[in-house]
Structure 1
Amino acid sequence: MTNDLSDRTILLTGGTSGFGRVAAVDLAKRGATVAVVGRDESKGATLVERSSDLAGTIAFHQADLASQSTVRSLATTVKREYDQIDVLAHNAGLSAGSRRESLDGIEITLAVNHLGPYLLTYELLDHLRDAPDPRVVITASDIHRRATLDLDDLQLTDGYDSLEAYARSKLANIAFTVELDDRLPDDSAVTVNCVHPGFVPSTELFREASLPTRLLVRIAGLIPGVATSKQAAAERLQTLLVDPRYGSVSGQYVGKDGPADPASEATNQAVRQRLWEMSAELVGITSDWPAPSTT
């Protein structure tokens, strides 16, 4: 893996806590400029302050990725403040304990975990294309295997279950990865991959989940060999962000031992194309993207 990252600028959502925070610090230690996106301004300020003596730089951008207007404002800020982005890393995640909607009227787990990455990628893809090794990386999860995408009820209006909502959003992440890779022009240098970081019970991901789900997570974390440490998860994420192997591999779901086959629904062409079209409609953009590069 590349040790000197002084020429890399990495936009990392979900980088103020959990293994995202570990990854942000590790990348800055190796010289990278890391633009961390998070909701909590105090956590962001603390991260920046504690990282001031690292070889690289950590900057914080406050944003609620459930809000489409905020995602667009974030993209505008990024394009203004950074000449280019080398890596767009979608690591923010949410598991809501009960069904609620964003200000845009979208079920919150779908809004944060899937539509946020979908829209931010749309807004920043051209800014990414000029980088020498441009990458889009999404944090998915093996929990996607328990889900199906009910495209007639994508937002779980009929019988909400927090774990099902989260699993569906992770399935959507993988379907988006495969579909974006399929849509990128053959001569595009951009790679897009997603990673299963492992089961990391020490994160704040399930802070809003129901009591039974939180208890299940706690119990599972006590079983030897089941849990993944924040450091190990951060290293898996960083592998996709900067390892040369993933500069030429695209459209992959990557686990502990490398690329793996996801659930068949994630690669089903009809499902992923319909999800793409529905996602475009939900965020108010054309589904006919990405456009060919003009350079």
Structure 2
Amino acid sequence: MADDLSARTILLTGGTSGFGRVAALDLAKRGATVAVVGRDESKGATLVERSKDLAGTIAFHQADLASQSTVRSLAATVEREYDQIDVLAHNAGLSAGSRRESPDGIELTLAVNHLAPYLLTYELLDHFCDAPDPRVVVTASDIHRRATLDLDDLQLMDGSDSLDAYARSKLANIAFTIELDDRLPDDSAVTVNCVHPGFIPSTDLFRDAPLRTRLLVRIAGLVPGVATSKQAAADRLQTLLVDPQYGSVSGQYVGSDGPADPASDATNQVVRRRLWEMSAELVGIPPDWPTPRTN
């Protein structure tokens, strides 16, 4: 893994808690400029304070990614404050306790976990595609294997529970990764991959989930060999962010043992292209992106 990251600027959502926070500090220790996005200003301020004696820097950007207008404002801020970003890391995620809607009237888990990365990538693609080693990395999960992409009920009006909603959003993350890779022009230097960080019971991800789900998570975390530490998950994420081996690998779902085959819905071209088009409609952008830079 690359040791000197002093030339790298990394935009990391979900970097104020859990393994995202560990990754942010590790990257700053190695000299990177890390633009951390989170909802909690107090946690953000604490993280910035922790970074003051490190080789790199951490800047905090407060944003609730459930709101599309906030995602667009965040993109505008990034374009204004950073000459260029090298890595766009979509790590923020949630599991709502019951079906709730975002400020835009979209099922909340889908809005934060899938549509926010989709829209933020659209808004920032031109701001990092000319970097020396431009990367998009999405935090997915192996829990996606329990889901299907029901495109007739993408917003979960069927009353699915929070774990189903989360699994479906992670499946959407992988489909987005593969479709974006497929759409990038042949001469693009951008790589796009997604990672399963492991099962991390100590994270706050399921804090709003029903009691039954929280108990299942806690019990599973007690089974030897099942749980992943925050540090191990952070290391796995950082591998995709900066390791040279992922500077030339794209369109991959990466697990603990390297690239792996995801569930079939994620690779089904008809399904992922329809998801792409529906996502564009939900966030109000043209579906024919990215536009090839050369013909």
- What is the TM-score of this pair, normalised by structure 2? 0.99
Tell me the distance in 2 between the aligned counterparts of 1:88 and 1:247.
13
Aligned to 1:92: 92
In 2: Cα distance, 1:184 partner to 1:218 partner:
41
2:151 matched residue in structure 1: 151
Q: Deviations over 1:253-289 (max 9, x none)?
A: 0000100000011000000000000000000000000
1:245 is the counterpart of 2:280: no
Distance (whole Å) between structure 2 residues aligned to residue 158 and residue 252 of structure 1: 31
For 2:21, what is the secondary structure of its paired residue? helix
Amino acid at match of 1:239: T
Report deviation, 1:50.
Answer: 1.3
Q: d(CA) in 1 for partners of 2:252 and 2:188?
A: 16
Residue identity opposite 2:29 in structure 1: K
Matched residue type, 1:250 = S
Q: CA deviation at 1:159?
A: 1.6
Question: Residues of 2 paired with 1:239 and 1:32: CA distance?
Answer: 14
- 2:99, 2:46 → 1: CA distance? 31
Asked whether the equivalents of residues 37 and 63 of structure 2 are also in contact (C-alpha less than 8 Å), the reply is yes
Spell out the pairing of 1:1-295 with structure 2 (5 A cutoff): 1-293=1-293
How far off is 1:115 after superposition?
0.1
Contact 2:84 2:128 in 1 (8 A): yes
Partner secondary structure for residue 136 of structure 2: strand
- Matching residue's letter, 1:132: P
Q: Secondary structure at the match of 1:241?
A: helix
Question: What's the secondary structure of 1:5's corresponding residue?
Answer: coil
TM-score computed with the length of structure 1 as normaliser: 0.99
Q: 1:238 and 1:158 mapped to 2: Cα distance?
A: 37
Q: Deviations over 1:196-251 (max 9, x none)?
A: 00000011000110000000000000000000000000000000000000000000
The letter of the residue matching 2:289 is W
Q: Matched residues in 2 for 1:51 and 1:132: separation?
A: 25
Please tell me the residue identity of whatever aligns with 1:190: V
Structure 1 runs (4+) greater than 6 angstroms displaced? none
Q: What is the identity, as a one-letter code, of the residue corresponding to 2:242?
A: V
* Cα distance in 2 between the residues matched to 1:287 and 1:114: 15
AA in 2 matched with 1:16: T
Instruction: From the superposition, tell whether residues 76 and 294 of structure 1 become closer, same or farther in structure 2 (CA, over 3 Å).
Output: farther
- How large is the Cα RMSD of the aligned pairs? 0.8
How far has the Cα of 1:293 moved from its partner?
A: 2.1
CA deviation map 1:137-169 (0-9, x unaligned): 000000000000110000101223100000000
Q: How far apart, CA to CA, are the structure 2 residues paired with 1:65 and 1:195?
A: 20
* CA deviation profile, 1:7-44 (whole Å, cap 9, x unmatched): 00000000000000000000000000000000000000
Aligned residues: 295
Q: Distance in 2 between matches of 1:266 and 1:175?
A: 4
| Cα distance in 1 between the residues matched to 2:104 and 2:273 | 23
Shift of 1:292: 1.6
1:144-195 Cα distance to aligned partner (Å, 9 max, x none): 0000011000010122310000000000000000000000000000000000
* Paired residue type of 1:87: V
- How much has 1:294 moved relative to structure 2? 6.2
What percentage of aligned pairs have identical amino acids?
Answer: 88
Return 5+ residue gaps in structure 2 as ranges: none
* Distance in 1, Cα, partners of 2:40 & 2:210: 22
Asked if structure 1 preserves the Cα contact closer than 8 Å seen for 2:94 and 2:112, the reply is: yes
